[in-house]
């Protein structure tokens, strides 16, 4: 069993010393650190390295819960992923320790909150879409009105075989998929 630490600050000008001192004082044998602003879980390369480094029976320790994840869903998914690998989790400031009965209960409580948060987001999204529909708005990409002339020019250029597909698309400011769709429409009609 090894204590592995993870520390993170959001900006380069912020200092990791407080977190590093606390993790070292608790006995962490290795500490991974990230310094970056984004909230995307996948962008935190050192967190990914720490998670890969952990072995069965190890403990991942952070100074504070928000250092591990910015959203409840990220936190729960990460900690549950650790549990599946038989890795425990400790947050120093909040005194969360999944090696204890109270820590395990807190983890279950976090999972319930994350599910609640997901349900609220889904309900708000659904309500927003319904309200927009009631006002006559529809989701998705707006329908593009394409002039018949542009379609005819595309068909002629394609049939002539004098211009490359790339040149036709660039000239008409359309994608290859659009060009082929327009050409195929004429063949099927």
H or E element that contains 182: helix 176-188
User: Residues 2-26: what's their mean pLDDT?
Assistant: 91
Q: Which domain-ending residue is among 69, 88, 113?
A: 113
* pLDDT number for residue 49: 94
Domain region containing 183: 148-188
**Model-level pTM?**
0.62
Asked whether 3 and 28 are in contact (CB, 8 A), the reply is: yes
Whether 10 is catalytic: yes
Spatial distance between the Cα atoms of 31 and 50, rounded to a whole number of angstroms: 8
Whether residues 90 and 165 share a domain: the answer is no
Q: Is residue 130 part of a domain?
A: no
What's the number of domains the chain is made of? 2
User: Residues 78-83: what's their mean pLDDT?
Assistant: 90
Q: Is residue 156 part of a domain?
A: yes
pLDDT at 114 over 90: no
pLDDT in tens, 142-164: 666 777 888 889 999 998 888 89
* pLDDT number for residue 38: 58
Q: Is residue 135 part of a domain?
A: no
Whether residues 168 and 99 share a domain: the answer is no
Phi-psi bin for 133: left (phi > 0), alpha (psi -120 to 50), beta?
A: alpha
Asked whether 73 and 118 are in contact (CB, 8 A), the reply is: yes
Q: What is the CATH number of the domain that holds 92?
A: 3.40.50.1390
pLDDT at 39 over 70: no
pLDDT at 123 over 90: yes
Q: Is residue 178 part of a domain?
A: yes
* pLDDT number for residue 189: 43
pLDDT at 135 over 70: yes
Q: Which position among 10, 164, 175, 186 bears the catalytic label?
A: 10
């Amino acid at each position: 069993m090894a204590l592995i630490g993870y520390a993170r600050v959001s900006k380069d000008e912020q200092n990791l010393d407080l977190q590093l001192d606390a993790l070292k004082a608790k006995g962490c044998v290795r500490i991974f650190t990230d310094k970056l602003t984004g909230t995307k879980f996948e962008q935190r390369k050192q967190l990914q390295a720490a998670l890969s480094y952990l072995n069965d029976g190890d403990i991942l320790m952070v100074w504070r819960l928000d250092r591990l994840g910015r959203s409840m869903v990220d936190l729960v998914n990460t900690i549950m992923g650790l549990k599946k690998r038989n890795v425990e989790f400790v947050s120093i400031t909040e005194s969360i320790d999944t090696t204890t009965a109270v820590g395990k209960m807190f983890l279950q409580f976090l999972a319930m909150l994350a599910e609640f948060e997901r349900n609220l987001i889904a309900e708000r999204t659904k309500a927003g879409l319904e309200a927009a529909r009631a006002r006559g708005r529809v989701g998705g990409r707006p329908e593009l009105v394409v002039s018949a002339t542009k379609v005819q020019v595309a068909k002629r250029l394609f049939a002539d075989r004098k211009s490359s597909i790339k040149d036709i698309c660039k000239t008409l400011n359309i994608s290859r998929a659009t060009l082929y769709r327009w050409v195929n429409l004429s063949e099927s009609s």
